[in-house]
Amino acid sequence: MKLQLNGEAIETDANTLVALLEEQGFGDAKVATAVNGQFVPATLRETQSLNENDLIEVLAPMQGG
């Protein structure tokens, strides 16, 4: 399936957001996620299904000020 991950086109076999995160090396990292502009909390990533051409954003917190 084709998706956009952080603005880059990718091909994946992942059917859920949690599977995509694992596949892309995010694993247990503390990140914020959104699918098609809608925030997806960590507790819902296992049930968040992915569809062709979805736009996925994965953001890691940054330190500094």
Of all residues in the chain, the percent with pLDDT exceeding 90 is 86
Q: Which CATH class is domain 2-59?
A: alpha beta
Residue 54 — very low, low, confident or very high, per pLDDT cuts 50/70/90?
very high
Q: How far is CA 5 from CA 16, 42, 54, 63, 65, in A?
A: 13, 17, 9, 23, 27
* Ranges of each domain in the chain: 2-59
The Cα 65–Cα 52 span in angstroms is 38
State the pLDDT at residue 63: 67
